[in-house]
Structure 1
Amino acid sequence: MKFVKGNIFNALFIIIILVIVFVPDAKAFFIKGLMEIGFYKPSVEVPKENIANLNGIQFKDAKGKLVDLGDLKGKIIFLNFWATWCPPCRAEMPSINKLYTQFKDDKNIVFIFADADGDFAKSAKFMADRKYAMPVYKVESDIPEQIFAGSLPTTVIFDKQGRLSFKHEGVANYADQKVIDFLNKLKNSN
């Protein structure tokens, strides 16, 4: 009887691990749980590299409106690269949505959520199914590697002068008070 109980426990354990590994929502749920207990806090240290010029770095929204980062000088830019199939992206979305909700009416901060696949139908359905109101964009130009080297998720924040002020590759909890304080500090600086 002991042998059978042990095998059942092992089989259940293996099934749970396989579900976490192969089911994106299950993996996202697991990562989100780790975020909530304190893992994946982003460091808000200023990156050492910088971008010379944001002009010509463009994104298009679902309505066809082009946004050029160079035209956003004087505003803080929160730029997140993500994909619907990416479990870490899915895990951090609730925290990003919370941050977006807090700052969405602030005219000094622009949020751009760049779907790495550029599939508006899929990303709009993803956002609607989860009741997220974040604006989805697709990349319309070359992106310098200092901004996005291909790792998903990647989040960058530019200050009012267009300087790279924050860069994080991988999942993070953006509802963390450190991030909120960092955005407010950028807002209040010249």
Structure 2
Amino acid sequence: MKNKETSKEKPVVNRIWQYPKKNIFTLLIVIFVGSMLFSPDAKSFVLRQLMATGIFNASIDKKEDDATSQINAHFEFMDEKGNIQNTSTLRGKVVFINFWASWCPPCRAEFPSIQKFHEKYEGNDDLVFLTINLDDEPQAGKLYLEKEKFTIPFLIPNGNIPNEYFSGSLPTTVVLDKTGKIRMHHAGMADYSKDSFYEEINQLLKD
């Protein structure tokens, strides 16, 4: 009798295991959507794969392009030691400004490319990196950089930021030429580690 009862129970067990097998795709979708909703790292990983396709490559406007404009507004920023500086003092240099926050998945997605860009030009005194953190708690941004071992400058604004630079979208990146003109204003993520972008930066440094 026990053998018969056992044989009758097996189909029930099989049916239990057949459910995840038949619905494995659905389960994977649920897991994927859940991770995308709750994990900034998962979101940034997916966005980084999209960046690898080349559809988010950065591009600097040509000098004669009507899109270029002179910045007459400036803002102050502060480094980790409390030193305060104003963007008005950076004329004569190419300035790369990136506004970011640690909770922002697109910011996280583009950061490895910014890190590579920074490493390539770190010794060039004519190029300034202003990576401006906009976390409500700056410590969160600092911990994120330390965790990822990024060496880009950790800077925070010291007062209001003019709309010419930043109007609320994260990430936002601005590139100024040596005369203070905006040569790129990009809201959204981009890849800053491509040779094509480096060539445009090199041209700005020569001008």
Same fold (TM over 0.5): yes
Work out the CA distance in 2 between the residues paired with 1:57 and 1:79: 12
Flag the structure with larger Rg. 2
- The more displaced of 148-157 and 40-49 is 40-49
Identity of aligned residues (%): 35
1:104 aligns with 2:122: yes
2:36 corresponds to: 20
Unaligned runs of 5+ in 2: 1-14
Amino acid at match of 2:154: V
Partners of 2:50 and 2:67 in 1: CA distance: 28
Match of 2:5 in 1: none
Partner of 2:10: none
User: Residue 71 of structure 1 is aligned with which of 89, 98, 107?
Assistant: 89
- 8 Å CA contact 1:51–1:146 kept in 2: the answer is no
Give the conservation status (yes or no) of the 8 Å contact 2:61–2:68. no
Under a length normalisation based on structure 2, what TM-score does the superposition of the two structures give? 0.84
Residue in structure 1 matching 2:148, options 130, 145, 151:
130
Tell me the equivalent position of 1:89.
107
TM-score by length of 1: 0.91
Determine helix, strand or coil for the equivalent of 1:164: strand
Cα distance in 2, alignment partners of residues 52 and 93 from structure 1: 26
Equivalences for 1:29-178 in 2 at 5 Å?
Answer: 29-45=45-61, 48=67, 50-54=69-73, 56-117=74-135, 119-178=137-196
Contact 2:107 2:170 in 1 (8 A): yes
Match of 1:186 in 2: 204
CA distance in 2, matches of 1:71, 1:52: 13
1:2-28 CA deviation, whole Å, 9 max, x = no partner? 875342321221211221232100000
Gaps in structure 1 of 5+ consecutive residues: none
Distance (Å, rounded) in 2 between the aligned partners of 1:14 and 1:88: 22
Note if contact 1:62-1:120 (Cα within 8 Å) is conserved in structure 2. no
Instruction: State whether residues 71 and 164 of structure 2, in contact with CA within 8 Å, keep that contact through their aligned partners in structure 1.
Output: no
